């Protein structure tokens, strides 16, 4: 039987370019090109340059030229939620002593499963008006889900996944922005000393991320909980003048210099009408339109819930919670590429390479539990394999999933890690995305 995945590589410009590079020799080991010269690490706080902060608002930040950019964070000032925190758990997660997925019966207030991440609609990194990478809230969640377990725990605690509110005071939240250069900072950093300046755009959602009890009658309601101020924190590695000059002279000598990077893309959201959703198992087929080179496919199914449920426990099972997928089938050219029970990909799809199996031990991890990833790579670093989707004939994803409830609209999000080349002009520092299919 012919393999459409291997056949797709024959006409791909990305694959042809990668083949021209030195491939890994598993029998040779050395540190050439791997040792980072002595340098300084700095964190620089950047105030917004335009826009405003609030529900459904957009603000922008001009990223300073300060060396090798290796990380971006948001520091969000959140208002008091005017409820009393009576939780006694050190990690402040909403779970019982047995680690079950229901909060203590006395809890009536709390954040949804995705916590403060629910305040984000999308984040965009761009230069001179050209978009480098755009991440929606769910694309950020997908990248978080592929982190090692300890880093996922840091994310869920920082962003208050399924936690009860802080005490009766305003507080700050640090949100890590997982743009493309997070994998290996020594390899994928952005050299702000030479390249074009960057701008970061943050668009907030409606920010209805909190359920509170009405003090007069005990009824519950969804409450907008938007930040009152947002600042950007940029992390840099700064070389001394001699090393920085050597780096620029060595890497930016002449011509157009290209760097192989992984950028996230997504299909249009596929909505399943309420009339087509039944109790129990459902089936949906999605024709994939992406034509770039793909290394990973993420799938998330949710049932948007714009109103409060009767209890906070029910809300935790409703708002922005990815649902269980019981079977995943990927076909191309009429040939089955993947056809397996969802648990295989859920528990073992990223197990050996990432230490990031989607195991839930409490409400905070439920946001990650049903983020499914078909991973075509062989390691989490670099670009060890990529599939030319442009060359596939009629790629289709077929999913069996458990609906949250019958007669309620559901949404399917298909997201990709795509392999592309980020090219820099050695004469001007102009940056643009080039070969991508």
- Return phi, psi of residue 381, to 5°: -100, 145
Instruction: Compute the distance between CA of residue 101 and CA of residue 364 in angstroms, rounded to an integer.
Output: 9
Instruction: Compute the distance between CA of residue 375 and CA of residue 149 in angstroms, rounded to an integer.
Output: 18
Residues in the chain: 437
**Least confident stretch, 95-109, 122-136, 270-284, 374-388:** 95-109
Count the Cβ atoms, other than its own, within 10 Å of residue 424: 23
CA 372 to each of CA 282, 297, 314, 383: distance values in angstroms, whole numbers, following the listed order: 17, 8, 23, 20
CA pseudo-torsion sign 135, 158, 145, 208? negative
The string of DSSP letters for 55-81 reads: TT-EEEEEEP--SEEEEEEEEEEE---
Contacts of 150 by beta carbon, 8 Å cutoff, 6+ apart: none
Q: Which residues of 290-309 are buried (b: 16+ CB within 10 A; e: fewer)?
A: bbbbbbbbbbbbbbebeebb
Instruction: Compute the distance between CA of residue 401 and CA of residue 419 in angstroms, rounded to an integer.
Output: 29
Query: What confidence category does residue 414 fall into, taking pLDDT thresholds of 50, 70 and 90?
Result: very high
CA 342 to each of CA 72, 217, 258, 332, 374: distance values in angstroms, whole numbers, following the listed order: 33, 43, 37, 19, 10
Q: What's the whole-number average pLDDT of the chain?
A: 80
Tens-digit pLDDT profile for residues 204-220: 999 988 877 654 445 55
Instruction: Compute the distance between CA of residue 180 and CA of residue 123 in angstroms, rounded to an integer.
Output: 12
Structure tokens at 405: 């409830």
- Average of pLDDT values for 249-267? 78
Calculate ∠ Cα 232-161-303, nearest 5°.
Answer: 110
- Return phi, psi of residue 346, to 5°: -60, -50
For residues 158, 116, 344 and 382, what is the CA-based torsion angle, rounded to 10 degrees?
-70
Structure tokens at 288: 């994939």
- Average of pLDDT values for 100-116? 63
* pLDDT above 90 (res 104): no
Instruction: Compute the distance between CA of residue 24 and CA of residue 181 in angstroms, rounded to an integer.
Output: 21
Write down the residue that tokens 């030229």 correspond to: 65
Instruction: Compute the distance between CA of residue 260 and CA of residue 383 in angstroms, rounded to an integer.
Output: 8
Whether the CB-CB separation of 235 and 174 falls below 8 Å is answered with no
**Least confident stretch, 220-229, 260-269, 373-382:** 373-382
Write down the residue that tokens 């006694």 correspond to: 88
Tens-digit pLDDT profile for residues 150-168: 888 999 999 998 887 765 7
Whether the CB-CB separation of 85 and 165 falls below 8 Å is answered with yes
Instruction: Compute the distance between CA of residue 8 and CA of residue 401 in angstroms, rounded to an integer.
Output: 29
**Least confident stretch, 20-34, 170-184, 197-211:** 20-34
> Global pTM?
0.85
**Least confident stretch, 82-96, 177-191, 216-230, 296-310:** 82-96
Query: What confidence category does residue 197 fall into, taking pLDDT thresholds of 50, 70 and 90?
Result: very high
């Amino acid at each position: 039987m012919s393999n459409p995945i291997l056949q797709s590589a024959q006409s791909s410009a990305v694959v042809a370019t990668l083949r021209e590079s030195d491939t890994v020799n598993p029998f040779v080991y050395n540190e050439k090109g791997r040792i980072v010269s002595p340098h300084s690490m700095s964190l620089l706080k950047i105030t917004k340059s335009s826009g405003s902060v609030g529900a459904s608002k957009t603000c922008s930040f001009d990223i300073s030229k300060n060396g090798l950019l290796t990380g971006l964070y948001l520091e969000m000032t959140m208002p008091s939620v005017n409820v009393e925190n009576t939780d006694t758990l050190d990690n402040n997660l909403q779970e019982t002593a047995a680690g079950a997925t229901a909060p203590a019966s006395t809890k009536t207030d709390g954040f949804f499963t995705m916590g403060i991440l629910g305040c984000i609609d999308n984040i965009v990194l761009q230069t001179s008006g050209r978009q480098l990478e755009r991440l929606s809230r769910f694309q950020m969640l997908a990248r978080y889900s592929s982190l090692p377990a300890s880093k996922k725990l840091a994310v869920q605690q920082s962003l208050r996944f399924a936690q009860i509110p802080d005490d009766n005071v305003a507080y700050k939240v640090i949100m890590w922005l997982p743009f493309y250069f997070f994998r290996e900072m020594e390899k994928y950093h952005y050299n702000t000393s030479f390249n074009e300046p960057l701008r970061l755009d943050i668009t907030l959602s409606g920010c209805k991320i909190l359920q509170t009890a009405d003090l007069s009658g005990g009824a519950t309601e969804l409450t907008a909980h938007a930040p009152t101020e947002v600042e950007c924190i940029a992390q840099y590695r700064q070389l001394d003048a001699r090393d920085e000059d050597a780096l620029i002279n060595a890497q930016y000598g002449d011509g157009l210099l290209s760097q192989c990077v992984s950028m996230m893309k997504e299909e249009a959201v596929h909505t399943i009408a309420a009339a087509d959703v039944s109790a129990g198992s459902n089936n949906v087929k999605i024709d994939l339109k992406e034509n770039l080179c793909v290394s990973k496919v993420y799938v998330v199914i949710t049932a948007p819930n714009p109103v409060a449920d009767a209890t906070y426990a029910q809300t935790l099972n409703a708002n922005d919670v990815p649902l269980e997928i019981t079977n995943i089938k990927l076909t191309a050219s009429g040939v089955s590429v993947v056809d397996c029970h969802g648990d295989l990909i859920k528990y073992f799809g990223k197990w050996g390479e990432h230490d990031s199996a989607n195991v839930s031990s409490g409400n905070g991890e439920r946001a990650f539990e049903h983020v499914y990833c078909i991973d075509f790579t062989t390691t989490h670093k670099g670009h060890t394999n990529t599939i030319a989707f442009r060359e596939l004939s009629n790629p289709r994803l077929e999913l069996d999933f458990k609906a949250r409830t019958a007669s309620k609209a559901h949404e399917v999000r298909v997201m990709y890690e795509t392999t592309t080349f980020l090219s820099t002009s050695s004469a001007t520092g102009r940056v643009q995305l080039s070969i991508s299919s």
